Amino acid sequence: MRLLLQWSGLRSNTRSSFVMPCAAQTRFLLLYGSQRGQAKAIAEEIAVKASDHGFAAEVSCLSEEEKYNLERERSPVVIVVSTTGDGDPPDTAINFVKKIKTKTLCSVHFAHLHYALLGLGDSNYSNFCNCGKTIDKRLRELGAQQFYASGYADDGVGLELVVEPWIEGLWDALRKFVTSAMSTSQKDTNSHVGDHNAKNEMGTIESAVTDLNLHLLSLNESSSQDESSGSCNTVAEGELLEASLTRSVLPLSESSLNIPALPAAFLDVELLNELQQDSTLLKPPEAAHQVVITSAKQLTREDAVKTTLLLEMDISETQLIYEPGDSFDLLCPNNNSEVEELLLRLGLVEKKHHIVKLQVKPDTKKKVSQLPSYIPEHSSLQYIFMWCLEIRAIPKKAFLRSLVEYTTNEHEKRRLQELCSKQGFADYNHFIRNPSLSILDLLCAFPSCMPTLSVILEHLPKLQPRSYSAASSSYSNPGRVHIVFNIVEFPLCPERPVPRKGVCTGWLSNLVLPILQHSGGQMMLPVAQDASIVLPKVYICSRPSSAFHLPSDTAAPIIMVGPGTGVSPFIGFLQHRKKQKEEHPDVSFGETWLFFGCRHKDRDFIFRDELGLFQAEGTLTHLRVSFSRDQDDSTEEVKPKYVQDNLRLNAQDVVRVLIKENGYIYICGDARNMAKNVHEELIDILSRELQIDKLEAMKVIADLREKKRYLQDIWS
Ligand code: FAD
């Protein structure tokens, strides 16, 4: 049964002060907390779909505190929130989380509140969906009740696996909840029923929650079956091998498809006759500090699997300050020739200097529609594609759905429909998501697809700055900051017949090529004095870390785990410590342990000499290294392969430092495998050494985390 009701604003005079619905659509409050726009986009999608289901969503960002009041909210509340960094709330949710965590709030503070929560995260990080989970837990502690089970979507395997069924199930849960609340309200009005009714109401809510749990479970089960190598469906697997980005095979090729609703267009785009000068292309749209790259060095040997570069930037002319452990955001443009290629493919290359005028379509059906804030007014087409749009973003299914409308060839049309359909999600993951395809790759593969500029602008997200940990200390290098990075390589694959480099690391490596060539790649030259080289300039902003800093108590022992480029902040820590020791010889300093790992001792052991020097003069008291590809099978001796193997070999010291001596552990680098493996190893170490079970060991780590003595700075 479909409910077409609207909250009238009248309140019942009973315990359940539910607003009585009387006409049109049922209102609910929809809050989102977004860092990079995902949660916002999903909230907007929910808002659009709501009206089809007889609901009206009132959407606000969690930071827009003037627009909502949870203390007085009687309608159902739906929250979509992402997690960023090491389990941190997105910037727009920080205040909200802080507020609800206030210790003085009592256990019935939100007893009137009924909510559903969708958390977004990435299971490659150990604190998966931490912000969503924190909000969920805290709301319940404060008496709020779920009317629908929380969904936790994992960007590591595809957000849509949970997001889509969660949204689908939301409408039923809302209907059940509203029906139940109305009947409770009605009964209350008639007979002032108390606790008994409350139990009934809860029963309904709980059953809705259970229904959804089962629904999600079955969907997850079927998706993991589809995703796995298909032991239960060998025919499908065999066929999948022959399928390609542009070709499907049975059963998908003949399956009827559930495709998403066509996203409502919301932008009117006009190319003005006014032209923009090329010089404006040099500056990013956001305020940032322009700094000079004063030197560059290749830290790895030519035969290393990955190339690691170290850059030094001069920040002396800026107000920028930093502590070791902080990072810097670098604003980078998209690759120029890729932009040209994309504009050419869109038939717009001739117009690239034209100023673009954007307006929200007056008749748009999109509920929450606004101009993209990251596209400044008066920008040329070329500028927008270079600086404002993440042209490498993996096209989402909604984008594919829109592309269908602009595709003339029937086969291509069908294939795009399949790739955005429920039935085609394994193909989507296999042929688009896993190889990290871009819109340009898709347009090359589907030549009859010719989307309008407005569709492209509606679907491509904001080009994000890239962050890099400071690999230096301003105490010992005043006015300078170092960053270290691997050049990201996307090898060619059947779906993308050209290899690519990462947007930022590829751009940076080209920028510093003259410096590297000049210095033979191996030396850090004082190029600032060399007039034959024009030093490149880049735009940066500081990105201070909330906790990833040396302990204020210099006597506290620390353990640093940083394989590969994960060692960067620890070089900053050690430089800082060395200077502190030199300037304060009477102060006592705790032990410092560094666990470093790489593939080959002779090819990619970055900062080998510097670490040796820190060790020789006592700033670094213990260095443990492991080389994963230098294993010698001919001897009996088992060498540690990864950082976690060395942690295990030093388990007693690890426990002594962390537990007996109240030390700190810092983990930096790869979030996909390393941080998880280290976490698991630490659980094993604690459980073995302290003779406690794994659950207890996990609690010890959670406690260390809470006390900011287990700190991570990880990225994928
Ligand atoms: P992009 O073009 O953005 O591509 C990278 C993306 O592609 C990633 O999502 C990756 O998973 C994926 N990818 C990579 N290779 C492939 C492949 N072969 N096929 C398919 N997908 C692939 N990085 C450092 O090197 N050093 C640091 O000190 C550092 N510090 C950081 C600190 C913080 C707080 C954060 C959030 C990140 C940090 N990073 C660091 C990561 C850095 O910001 C960038 O993400 C990284 O340099 C890649 O940027 P890019 O633009 O070159 O790559």
Is the confidence at residue 305, as pLDDT, over 90? yes
The finding on whether 496 has its CB within 6 A of some atom of ligand 1 is no
The finding on whether 503 has its CB within 6 A of some atom of ligand 1 is yes
State pLDDT tens for residues 324-343: 999 999 999 999 999 999 99
State pLDDT tens for residues 564-593: 999 999 999 999 999 999 999 999 999 999
Q: What distances in angstroms separate CA 640 from CA 596, 612, 632, 644, 674, one per listed residue?
A: 11, 19, 11, 8, 14
Do strands 114-121 and 145-146 pair parallel, antiparallel, or not at all (unpaired)? parallel
The band of 219, judged by pLDDT with boundaries at 50, 70 and 90, is very low
Terminal-residue alpha carbon distance, the chain? 46
| Axis crossing angle, helix 608-616 with helix 568-583, rounded to the nearest 10 | 30
Q: Which of 301, 312, 287, 205 is nearest to 568 (CA)?
A: 312
State pLDDT tens for residues 439-469: 999 999 999 999 999 999 999 999 999 999 9
Place of tokens 């008496």: 143
Among protein residues, the one with the nearest Cα to ligand 1's atom 53 is: 502
Helix intervals (H) in 325-465: 336-345, 381-383, 397-404, 410-420, 425-428, 439-445, 453-459
For 58, other C-beta atoms within 10 Å of its C-beta total: 17
The band of 186, judged by pLDDT with boundaries at 50, 70 and 90, is low
Is the confidence at residue 250, as pLDDT, over 80? yes
Is the confidence at residue 671, as pLDDT, over 90? no
The finding on whether 505 has its CB within 6 A of some atom of ligand 1 is yes
The finding on whether 565 has its CB within 6 A of some atom of ligand 1 is yes
For residue 713, which atom of ligand 1 is closest to its CA? 34
The finding on whether 715 has its CB within 6 A of some atom of ligand 1 is yes
Is the confidence at residue 691, as pLDDT, over 60? yes
pLDDT, average across residues 175-195 = 64
For residue 487, which atom of ligand 1 is closest to its CA? 52
Residue 246 or 208, more confident:
246
pLDDT, average across residues 174-193 = 67
State pLDDT tens for residues 123-165: 877 688 999 999 999 999 999 999 999 999 988 777 888 998 8
- Residue 170: alpha-carbon gap to chain centroid: 24
Is the confidence at residue 231, as pLDDT, over 50? no
State pLDDT tens for residues 522-578: 545 555 556 667 899 999 999 999 899 999 999 999 999 999 999 999 999 999 999
Residue 369 pLDDT: 77
Is the confidence at residue 482, as pLDDT, over 90? yes
Residue 367 pLDDT: 73
State pLDDT tens for residues 36-72: 888 998 998 899 889 889 899 999 999 999 899 998 8
Residue 195 pLDDT: 41
Q: Which long-range contacts (CB under 8 A, 24 or more apart) does 93-99 make?
A: 93/33, 93/62, 93/63, 93/131, 93/135, 95/62, 95/63, 95/65, 96/33, 96/62, 96/63, 96/65, 96/135, 97/131, 97/134, 97/135, 97/138
Residue 529 pLDDT: 56
Counts for the chain of helices (H) and strands (E), in that order: 21, 24
Residue 111 pLDDT: 87
Residue 187 pLDDT: 56
Is the confidence at residue 202, as pLDDT, over 60? no
Is the confidence at residue 716, as pLDDT, over 90? no
Is the confidence at residue 12, as pLDDT, over 60? no
Q: Which amino acid belongs to residue 128?
A: F
For residue 491, which atom of ligand 1 is closest to its CA? 18
Among protein residues, the one with the nearest Cα to ligand 1's atom 1 is: 502
Q: In b/e form, how buried is each residue of 530-552, taking b as 16+ CB within 10 angstroms? A: eeebebbebbbbbbebeebbbbe
For 81, other C-beta atoms within 10 Å of its C-beta total: 31
For residues 440 and 336, what is the distance between their CA atoms, to the nearest angstrom? Answer: 13
Tell me the best of 82, 159, 485, 674 to mutate to test the pocket of ligand 1, counting ligand atoms within 8 Å of each CB and taking the most.
485
Is the confidence at residue 227, as pLDDT, over 60? no
Residue 621 pLDDT: 98
State pLDDT tens for residues 616-664: 999 999 999 999 998 776 676 778 999 999 999 999 999 999 999 999 9
The string of DSSP codes covering 51-82 is HHTTEEEEEEETT-GGG--TTT--S-EEEEEE
The band of 283, judged by pLDDT with boundaries at 50, 70 and 90, is confident
Name residues whose C-beta falls within 8 Å of residue 474's C-beta, 6 or more positions apart in sequence. Answer: 321, 322, 323, 480, 481
Residue 7 pLDDT: 25
Do strands 354-360 and 379-380 pair parallel, antiparallel, or not at all (unpaired)? antiparallel
The finding on whether 504 has its CB within 6 A of some atom of ligand 1 is yes
The band of 238, judged by pLDDT with boundaries at 50, 70 and 90, is very low
Q: Which amino acid belongs to residue 556?
A: A
In degrees, rounded to 5, the angle at the alpha carbon of residue 181 between the alpha carbons of residues 179 and 183 is 70
pLDDT, average across residues 310-326 = 96
The finding on whether 486 has its CB within 6 A of some atom of ligand 1 is yes
Is the confidence at residue 205, as pLDDT, over 50? no
Is the confidence at residue 122, as pLDDT, over 90? no
pLDDT, average across residues 9-28 = 45
Among protein residues, the one with the nearest Cα to ligand 1's atom 27 is: 468
Q: What value does the CA radius of gyration of the chain take, rounded to a whole number of Å?
A: 28
| Axis crossing angle, helix 38-52 with helix 160-191, rounded to the nearest 10 | 50
Q: Ligand 1 mean position to 393 CA, how many Å? A: 13
pLDDT, average across residues 251-260 = 93
Residue 582 corresponds to which tokens in the numbers above?
């030199």
User: Mean pLDDT of all residues in the chain?
Assistant: 86
Is the confidence at residue 384, as pLDDT, over 60? yes
Residue 5 or 332, more confident:
332
The finding on whether 436 has its CB within 6 A of some atom of ligand 1 is yes
The finding on whether 392 has its CB within 6 A of some atom of ligand 1 is yes
The finding on whether 307 has its CB within 6 A of some atom of ligand 1 is no
pLDDT, average across residues 79-91 = 89
Residue 604 corresponds to which tokens in the numbers above?
């990619």
Contact 240, 230 (CB under 8 A): yes
* Cβ neighbourhood burial of 287 (10 Å; 0-12, 13-18, 19+): exposed
> What is the percent of the chain with per-residue pLDDT over 90, rounded to a whole number?
69
The finding on whether 510 has its CB within 6 A of some atom of ligand 1 is no
> What is the percent of the chain with per-residue pLDDT over 70, rounded to a whole number?
86
Which uninterrupted H or E stretch holds 199? helix 195-227
pLDDT, average across residues 169-192 = 74
State pLDDT tens for residues 402-427: 999 999 999 999 999 999 999 999 99
Tell me the best of 464, 466, 668 to mutate to test the pocket of ligand 1, counting ligand atoms within 8 Å of each CB and taking the most.
466
Q: Ligand 1 mean position to 395 CA, how many Å? A: 18
Place of tokens 């007979």: 191
Residue 51 pLDDT: 84
What's the pTM value of the predicted model, to 2 decimals? 0.76
Q: In b/e form, how buried is each residue of 562-594, taking b as 16+ CB within 10 angstroms? A: bbbbbbbbbbbbbbbbbebeeeeeeeebbbbbb
Q: What distances in angstroms separate CA 625 from CA 266, 467, 601, 631, 644, one per listed residue?
A: 55, 26, 9, 13, 10
Is the confidence at residue 78, as pLDDT, over 90? yes
For residues 158 and 156, what is the distance between their CA atoms, to the nearest angstrom? Answer: 6
Nearest 5°: phi and psi at 396?
Answer: -80, 170
The band of 222, judged by pLDDT with boundaries at 50, 70 and 90, is very low
